[in-house]
Amino acid sequence: MKLNVAVKYRLYDNKKAILIFYIVIVSVLAFMFLFSALNRGNHKFNGSIQGLELASAIFLFVVGLNSFKEIFRMFMQNGISRKTMFLSYVASTAAICIIMAFIDSILALISRSITAVNGGIYSRGVIEMMYGKQVNSIGTFLLSIILCFFINIAFTSLGFFITTLYYRMNKTQKITVSIGVPALLFVILPIADTLLLNGIFFTGLAGILTASFRDPFMCMLSCFVLSGVLMALSWMLVRKAAVKD
């Protein structure tokens, strides 16, 4: 009962942001198609829309970043346990990610159909961009939706994990992580890898990443595992979180 209300509240909380996001996306697409139609035959105008669905993934990363503090306080005020709060996050995230994956795949399909007729703009969805698979059948359309769903879940989970981690840390820890992680990834590791390991670390990492995303199914599996790990870590952070003033 409480879980239903908690999920309903989370969906309500995200509704406005999602609506604005799609108004912007549709407006940008409409503007591009209109501009392209008005400039038909003018070879100076060439545009491209690629991996439209990734815009949603980035948007959902931001949604994930904003999915903890305010809702946690609201739920604590209204007698919702941390367990129910976390389950509501998982359920609402799954619902939002699948709905957005469906809308994105439809938009990518429409975009591709229009550009095929209109010319001037080149459009391809994420599955075509990453794996060269054209969405020309129900099978590839469904594959595109499922792929987008898993990418969306992974991005949201990453955002949620970062926000819960920062919530649990004190000021010193926040500063340490904010400076330490970028410094480690972009300065210390590259230098150490070059000087001490002859580039083996980053070559190996690139190999792992390539293998993890080499086809749509591996990409889905990798996103699923990543999401699972991030959600498990987030739960460990949420279960003992205290309300801060």
Partner 1 sequence: MNGLKVVNVSKRFGDVQALKNVSIDFNENKIYGLLGRNGAGKSTLLNIITGKIFADEGSVSLDGECIPENDRVLSKLFMMGERNYYPAGMTVVDAFRWTKEFYPGFDAERAFRLSKDFGLNIKSKIKSLSTGYSSIFRLITALCVNVPYVLLDEPVLGLDANHRDLFYRILIEQYAENPATFIISTHLIEEVSGIIEEVVIIREGEIIRNESRESLLSKYYCVSGRISDVDGYIAGKRVLASETLGGLKTAYVEGVPDINSPNLEISKMDLQKLFIQLTNSQGGITE
For partner 1, the closer of residues 74 and 109 by Cβ is: 74
Q: Which of residues 6-35 bind partner 1 (CB under 8 A)?
A: 8-9, 13
Task: Kindly write down the DSSP assignment for every residue of 17-51, as one continuous string.
Answer: HHHHHHHHHHHHHHHHHHHHHHTTT-TT--EEEE-
Query: Hey, what amino acid is at 206?
Result: A
79 belongs to the binding site for partner 1 (CB under 8 A)? yes
Give the C-alpha separation, 141 to 207, whole Å.
29
C-beta of 242: minimal distance to partner 1 in Å? 4
For partner 1, the closer of residues 117 and 242 by Cβ is: 242
5 belongs to the binding site for partner 1 (CB under 8 A)? yes
Strands (E), the chain: 47-50, 121-124
Spell out the alpha helix ranges (H) of 169-214.
171-183, 189-197, 200-212
Return the residue of 17, 23, 50, 70 that touches partner 1, per CB under 8 A. 70
Provide long-range contacts, Cβ within 8 A and 24+ apart, for 20-24.
21/56, 21/59, 22/103
Give the C-alpha separation, 116 to 94, whole Å.
33
Return the residue of 27, 48, 50, 78 that touches partner 1, per CB under 8 A. 78
- Give the binding range for partner 1 (CB under 8 A) out of 48-56, 78-86, 89-97, 195-203: 78-86
C-beta of 171: minimal distance to partner 1 in Å? 13
Return the residue of 14, 52, 82, 139 that touches partner 1, per CB under 8 A. 82
Return the residue of 117, 138, 195, 242 that touches partner 1, per CB under 8 A. 242
- Provide the b/e sequence for 53-64 (b: ≥16 CB within 10 Å): bbbbbebbbebb
39 belongs to the binding site for partner 1 (CB under 8 A)? no
For partner 1, the closer of residues 95 and 189 by Cβ is: 95
Give the C-alpha separation, 90 to 94, whole Å.
6
90 belongs to the binding site for partner 1 (CB under 8 A)? no
Residues near partner 1 (CB under 8 A)? 1-2, 5, 8-9, 13, 70, 73-74, 76-84, 240, 242-243, 245
